[in-house]
């Protein structure tokens, strides 16, 4: 009798252990499934070109967030960035493209050496580990064009009180006004920011300043939008 009781007790323990292990496996599978479902439903798969700004997206190989700050008068002039995380390589990078009219930035050999993210002029992130860059070059931001200028542009043309004025043949020979193309100094620089992931996770949820520092001593101040800051904190949390 004791023998049977002992065997039953042993079998009971083994069944309990098996149930526990099975439970862990099911729970783990559920967590993985939930995580995958969350990623699929919340992160769009798209190209960098077509991705929305200030949102996490997936290119098929990296997760990324893109941001822009530009001059309202010409959207091509400004500071543009793509922050990316490659889970397979476990790296975190930011690619910075700028298009600025500051003539000093066209100096030979000049380039972007550091990007500092600030809050009320207090540095939060100092980014200076350059891993790739393209030389600065001149880029056209708007083409040249001719602006029409003829009699119908003048308010007095239909004014009856001007009809008796002596005829002036010069009025028939107005030449179009040519506006030349405009250019900016453009460059692309990529930084490694993996060591800063903890600092990025702790950024305040607000619009922040970005200072671009160049090798010739020039500095430019732009901004990183609040939505982008929030998306960056989500980006670094991806495993």
CB count in 10 Å sphere of residue 98: 25
Q: Nearest 5°: CA angle at 225, between 106 and 90?
A: 85
pLDDT digits (tens, 9 = 90+) for 13-23: 454 544 443 44
Q: Tell me what pLDDT residue 232 has.
A: 98
Average pLDDT, the chain: 77
CATH architecture for the domain at 44-145+180-237: Sandwich (2.60)
Q: Tell me what pLDDT residue 231 has.
A: 97
Q: Nearest 5°: CA angle at 206, between 200 and 212?
A: 65
Q: Tell me what pLDDT residue 127 has.
A: 98
CB count in 10 Å sphere of residue 236: 20
Quick one: pLDDT band at residue 40, thresholds 50, 70, 90?
Answer: very low
Residue 131 has pLDDT above 60, yes or no: yes
> Which range, of 111-120, 123-132, 157-166, averages the lowest pLDDT?
157-166
pTM: 0.69
Q: Tell me what pLDDT residue 95 has.
A: 95
Range with the largest mean pLDDT of 61-75, 149-163, 193-207: 193-207
CB 135 within 8 A of CB 111: yes
Average pLDDT of span 162-169:
49
pLDDT digits (tens, 9 = 90+) for 63-94: 999 999 998 888 888 999 999 999 999 899 99
Quick one: pLDDT band at residue 174, thresholds 50, 70, 90?
Answer: low
Quote the CA–CA distance of 22 and 155 in Å, as a whole number: 87
List of E strands, 12-90:
44-45, 57-58, 63-71, 74-86
Domain ranges in the chain are: 1-42, 44-145+180-237, 147-178
């Amino acid at each position: 009798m004791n023998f049977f009781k002992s065997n039953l007790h042993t079998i009971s323990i083994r069944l309990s252990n098996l149930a526990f292990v099975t439970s862990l496996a099911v729970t783990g599978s559920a967590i993985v499934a939930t995580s995958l479902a969350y990623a699929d439903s919340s992160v769009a798969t798209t190209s960098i070109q077509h991705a929305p700004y200030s949102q996490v997206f997936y290119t098929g190989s990296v997760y990324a967030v893109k941001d822009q700050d530009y001059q309202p008068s010409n959207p091509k002039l400004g500071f543009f960035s793509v922050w990316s995380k490659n889970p397979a390589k476990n790296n975190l990078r930011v690619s910075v493209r700028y298009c600025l009219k500051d003539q000093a930035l066209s100096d030979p050999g000049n380039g972007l050496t550091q990007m500092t993210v600030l809050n009320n002029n207090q540095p939060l992130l100092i980014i200076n580990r350059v891993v790739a860059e393209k030389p600065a070059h001149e880029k056209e931001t708007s083409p040249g064009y001719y602006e029409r200028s003829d009699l119908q542009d003048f308010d007095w043309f239909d004014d009856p009180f001007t009809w008796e004025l002596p005829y002036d043949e010069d009025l028939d020979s107005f030449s179009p006004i040519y506006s030349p193309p405009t250019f900016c100094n453009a460059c692309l620089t990529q930084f490694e920011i993996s060591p800063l992931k903890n600092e990025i996770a702790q950024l305040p949820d607000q619009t922040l300043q970005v200072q671009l520092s160049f090798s010739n001593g020039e500095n430019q101040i732009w901004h990183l939008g609040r939505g982008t800051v929030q998306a960056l904190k989500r980006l670094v949390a991806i495993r």
